Amino acid sequence: MANLGAGDVRQPFRVTFFEDRNGNNTFDAGTDNVLGSAMVTDPVVAEGRITVSANLSGYVLFTNNRIWAYADSGQVIDEADETNNLGVRLSEFIPLRASSIRS
């Protein structure tokens, strides 16, 4: 994730990871499938990049469906451009090996 703005971001903000259930390439609370989220509490300097990770859980409609990341989903950061806060990649299904399953 990159801070494309001229100012540092010092306020904590949330990144929400979701499946776009209604296929409109944007996040719709109550409609889209939220799989997890993470709070970013460290400052993100102007033109800086950070990696955000979260433990996701839940069900997606099919293997390799696209998972979106929505930065500042709580809309606490004022930005010059509020429309570039979404990123997407394919989900990756990694089968558990039998030895890693415990009762």
> Candidates 16-24, 50-58, 61-69, 89-97 — which segment interacts with Ca ion by CB under 5 A?
16-24
Using the rule CB under 5 A, is 24 a contact of Ca ion? yes
CB under 5 A: which stretch of 14-22, 50-58, 62-70, 86-94 binds Ca ion?
14-22
Distances (CA, A) of 89 to 19, 92, 97: 10, 9, 24
Q: Yes or no: say if 73 and 57 are a contact pair by the CB < 8 Å rule.
A: no
Element counts in the chain: helices (H) and strands (E): 0, 4
C-beta of 38 vs 79, nearer to Ca ion: 79
Task: Kindly state whether residue 19 participates in binding Ca ion, applying the rule CB under 5 A.
Answer: no
Cross-sheet strand order for the sheet of 13-19: 33-40, 13-19, 66-71, 86-90
Instruction: Confirm or reject binding of residue 22 to Ca ion (CB under 5 A).
Output: yes
Q: Which residue in this structure is represented by tokens 């719709």?
A: 28
**Structure tokens, 85:** 């806060």
Pattern 42-81, Ca ion, x by CB under 5 A: ------------------------------x--x-x-x--
Residue ranges binding Ca ion (CB under 5 A): 20, 22, 24, 28, 32, 72, 75, 77, 79
